[in-house]
Amino acid sequence: MDRVRVAIIGCGGISRAHINGHMAEPRSEIVYCVDIDEERAKEKAEAVGCEWHTDMEAVLDEVDAVDICTPVHLHAPQTIMAAEAGKHVLCEKIMARTLDEAETMIEATDEAGVIFMVAFVLRYRPEFQKLHDMCESGEFGLIHQAFCSTTMFMAPENVHPWRKTVEEFPMGALMSHGCHYVDQLQWNVGPITDALAIGNRFTLGDVIPGGDDTECMVMRHENGAVSSYVESWATPHRMQGIRLEIYGKEASARLIYHTDGRRELWKSDEDGMNLVWEFDPSREDHMDLFGGAKDMQGQIAHFIECILDGKQPMTHGREALRPMQAIAAAVEGGEQGVLMNVEKYLGER
């Protein structure tokens, strides 16, 4: 097999980025766009130039892999269905509603012997890979502190219906969206051993009952370093998108997403503060074939490569479970008013 036949499952907002990534990858062929909403399935299929369907199960015999872009309450049953049919799976984050549900997905894909990858897309973007390489190289010296913040605004009237019930969405911003950045902190600084999170729901509390819309999480890492992450879905007047800072004894770094679309990675050491990577949306050579940032291409290329070469994905199921575990422990710690040991929390499940 030199080409992977893929079905896009779920044709909502995030599917556009996934589709663009597949269309830019010559070893991938989208053969179906699937959604229970016939019009959405048709719209995406027409853009791709492929077939459409409203029933995922009906197309499994015609594909090698599925790319699951549906709401979180559908991730487990759809992943298990695909695995039982012998199909490889790329599943959007967050992997599942609960740790137990995530375990069922991992077990099903392990038993089937298929590739299972979770879409922690930041790991596959060049700026985050560059920062990770800097951390891994030792050029920062002993890393002792890290900080991350993200801000966005989710207008109450625009919240998707599936987020409005605890049954379908038993979480808030930290687990649903913050999992990306907790993953970045543990990827760059090291495993998280202890955590605590506190938050509020001033804006979306009546709309999203499953968790807070604004949260702060503090962490201790295995090497003794400390980090913090603050985020909100309720900031209409934000001043930046993403800000991730790593502080070491020899050097430090800051990765920042500006609100005008620019992205910069800075390094500070004895030579001063210098720009080491940048992305400028006004430069055509920085954009992908479809007029957007090359945000999904690395992730899709990695998924396809893992299928063709039989490799373990960098963000396989067990790896994707780690930020979920840390966040679950942190939320429990916040409720009890203590810094919660992650391993102890897992042992009590």
Whole-number Å distance between alpha carbons of 190 and 248? 13
Give me the pLDDT at residue 285, please.
Answer: 62
Give me the pLDDT at residue 292, please.
Answer: 56
Full strand arrangement of the beta sheet holding 214-221: 272-279, 263-269, 252-257, 242-248, 143-151, 226-232, 214-221, 192-200, 340-341
281-298, pLDDT tens digit by residue? 877 665 555 555 668 899
Percent above pLDDT 70 for the chain: 95
Best CA proximity match to 180, nearest among 116, 105, 118 = 118
Best CA proximity match to 187, nearest among 19, 18, 319, 40 = 319
70-104, pLDDT tens digit by residue? 999 999 999 999 999 999 999 999 999 999 999 99
Give me the pLDDT at residue 349, please.
Answer: 40
Query: What distance separates the 2 farthest-apart alpha carbons in the chain?
Result: 61
**Do 136 and 253 meet the contact criterion of CB atoms below 8 Å apart?**
no
- The full DSSP string for 280-298 is -TTSGGGB-TTSSBS-SHH
185-243, pLDDT tens digit by residue? 999 999 999 999 999 999 999 999 999 999 999 999 999 999 999 999 999 999 999 99
Cis geometry, peptide bond prior to residue 94 (ω within 30 degrees of 0)? yes
Whole-number Å distance between alpha carbons of 105 and 107? 5
259-285, pLDDT tens digit by residue? 999 999 999 999 999 999 999 887 766
Best CA proximity match to 15, nearest among 34, 29, 28 = 34
Provide the pLDDT confidence category of residue 346 given band limits of 50, 70 and 90: low
Whole-number Å distance between alpha carbons of 33 and 24? 16
Whole-number Å distance between alpha carbons of 267 and 309? 35
Q: Which residue is listed with tokens 């203590």?
A: 338
Backbone angles phi, psi at 272, to 5 degrees: 100, -165
298-328, pLDDT tens digit by residue? 999 999 999 999 999 999 999 999 999 999 9
pLDDT for 117 beyond 90 = yes
Q: Which domains are present in the chain?
A: 4-119 (3.40.50.720), 123-286+316-343 (3.30.360.10)
Give me the pLDDT at residue 348, please.
Answer: 43
